[in-house]
Amino acid sequence: MVCHYIEDRSISIRRACRIFNISVTCYYHKSVVTDENQQIADLLIKLTDENKNWGFGLCFLALRNVLGLPYNHKRVYRIYCELELNLRIKPKRRIKRAKPIPLAVPDRINQSWSMDFMHDSLTDGRGFRLFNIIDDYNREALTVEVDFSLPAGRVIRSLNQLIEYRGKPVQIRCDNGPEYISNALKDWAEQQGIILSYIEPGNPQQNAYVERFNRTMRYD
């Protein structure tokens, strides 16, 4: 207000300060603060224009550590918010995901099997795999096959041997491992009339029956 009054009336700073009852020192201090705030605002706008993905933290670090400007964190943030730079990045839209189907409880044998791999290593460092199949109805371990390599062909061979004396399951639950999503296994399941029920990626709890068997086998 004092600045505008001085410009409009063309009077001295000292006289204007007396009219508004403020000290000359206070006037000059406010002028310096205003100039600094404008400098901060200009720099923030420039930084955010040049770096679209920068938030306040990176802008403040650039002012302090790169440009060497010793401005207070709260002061810079206040100007950052006044410029509404904190609103320029839209929040990520939350995707509404359908709830996974609860793990069904079979009411008879061969209604649902679950299969999964386990990994371990020998004392010499060589890794090996275990291929486990259980019946979800009574948690019976139907087969545990161990080898250094268990590709899709070995999975199919194990299933065929199991079906010979056990009979076919209605469905087999498994994860999205390369052996399970291979065309060879999918073609085999189609020929056998067996449903391959894949769990959602990153949700091992949907294959809880065999996961629990794996844990028991590993630690007990």
pLDDT in tens, 73-118: 888 888 888 877 776 555 555 544 445 456 778 899 999 999 999 9
How many residues belong to the chain?
A: 220
Q: Which residue has the tokens 């709890």?
A: 205
Q: What is the pLDDT of residues 35-48, one digit of tens each?
A: 788 888 888 888 88
Model confidence band, residue 66 (pLDDT cutoffs 50, 70, 90)? confident
Q: Which residues contact 21 (CB under 8 A, 6 or more apart)?
A: none
Helices (H) and strands (E) in the chain, counts: 8, 5
**Domain boundaries defined on the chain:** 2-87, 112-219
User: 37-73 b/e with 16+ CB inside 10 Å = b?
Assistant: beebbebbeebbeeeeebebeebbebbeeeeeeebee
Q: Which residues contact 109 (CB under 8 A, 6 or more apart)?
A: 135, 137, 138, 140
Top CATH class, 112-219: alpha beta
What pLDDT sits at residue 16? 60
Q: What is the pLDDT of residues 134-177, one digit of tens each?
A: 999 999 999 999 999 999 999 999 999 999 999 999 999 999 99
What pLDDT sits at residue 12? 64
pTM for the structure as a whole:
0.53
What pLDDT sits at residue 102? 61
DSSP characters for 141-165? Answer: EEEEEEES---HHHHHHHHHHHHHH
Mean pLDDT, all residues of the chain: 81
User: Beta 112-121 vs 171-174: how paired, if at all?
Assistant: parallel
Measured in degrees and rounded to the nearest 5, phi and psi for residue 16 equal -65, -35
Sign of the dihedral defined by the CA atoms of residues 173, 175, 178, 183, in that order? positive
What CA dihedral angle connects 200, 203, 205 and 208, to 10 degrees? 50
